[in-house]
Structure 1
Amino acid sequence: MQVDLLCSGSKGNSCLIRTKNSSLLIDCGSTKKYLMNALGSVNQRVDDLNALLVTHAHTDHVSQLKHFRHLPVYSYCDLKDLDNHRIVRPLQEFDVNEFHVKVISLSHDSPNTVGYVIYADGKKLVYVTDTGYVSNEVKTYLENADYYIFESNHDIETLMNTNRPMFLKQRILGDSGHLNNLDASSNLASLINSKTKEIVLAHISEEANDPSIALKCIHDHFLKKDLPYRGVNIRAAKQHEILTIKSF
């Protein structure tokens, strides 16, 4: 399995997952120019994709949907005027070529937001962004993965010091908003085990967070919990910088 996180943040989100013979895309945000150039830079033709998985209908996740409408498109949210739209529901499982996919319910202020657990090549990848919290029921399905792409959206103090209106700050902080650094770290500490090889902190706010702050938070939390974080490669995704996880 190879994972290329093409972009991650409020300006666009997209993640390419491949085996030697199959490929799928999670979300298709950002600009057309950036997304097509990013796919080209990792040698992925749009016409060769097997499917598109959509987490939810916010623009930063679906802005380029029209360029992928020829594919089977899987989502729990309503996506209008697609000929090959396949509605999926939380805890549903399905196969896309060599991938086995499980749908995970999340809590966000866009209707029917989900994450995905992807199995391929004997590996397990958890993809969770855009959620205010992770329920204990959901955690059962996220445990013991090889790879995590996991939201660490904001630092609370930094968020509160921004010039954003209070209603927006409250939205972000709420149960239907986004995970802060500490909540992300706490969740991940409860999920990983000795087989976990990589954690990517994702959907990091450019205004209310910083990769260095998010990374320090998780490192400090893992040390406090006496977790062997030195055995896990922990990285922070940036908005427009391709981040690759490769296991074959």
Structure 2
Amino acid sequence: MSGVTIELDGRKVQVQPGLSILQAAANCGVEIPHLCTCDGLRTEGNCRSCLVEVQGERNLVASCSRSVKPGMVVQINSPRAVKNRALVLELMLSDLPQGGDYGELSTAAAQAGVTVRPALQAQRAPAPHAHDASHPAMQVNLDACIQCTRCVRACRESQVNGVIGLAGRGADTHIVFDLSDPMGLSSCVACGECVQACPTGAISAKPLASATHETAEAFGTKPGQCVRFNAQDKTVDSVCPYCGVGCLLTYHVQDNKIISVDGRDGPANHG
């Protein structure tokens, strides 16, 4: 299959047909900031952090959802594109509590030299029902959510569980589990796909867990005391025993007891 010739910031390159501008740029060693797009998930194009300028287009375009075409002239680092991407990142950061570490968003903002103006930060409204620690292995902090919907697509399309969705409209739009149930009371099967998909840590693995009567003896502590799950003696690569698909896992082991499990990349994990 013949390649497609496009121009990226004044440099003519040949890329594979059918790629998005974002993918083509990455293959050429040019990184464009992006948050709602993730390998293995359907492209949504809703965060607008990957805006670029395309010659002949009146508006900036989302590079994650625009396919390359022969002769396309793309300006990634034009003053207009850089300014608009920075504004998008600033607006997202201004809607989150100040001073937090928000994973990919904080990294993208730091690389772009973006800081939040006090006037924007002052207009922030805290998310209602932001914190949910009802699940034994995961925690939810909607204060850190940018509504990129990566968790929704991971849950519905990658794992086909259909637990996570969106509720509300406009400024009241927010992530929900089942019918707005606490995560721990929902039909979540604890696969952890949403944790791996979330770019800001709005859904994350619990770094601490309260020991139950069943786990207290195993960890040499008392019920109710905290057990730190990130301490480990070794890791063991294995396969998930839940079904016959064969997704790869890494067990974290302490004192010959499994204390946590991470997904490991492999063919079966991609569906």
Tell me the TM-score normalized by structure 2. 0.26
Higher relative contact order (CA 8 A, sep 6+): 1
Determine which structure has more spread, i.e. the larger CA radius of gyration: 2
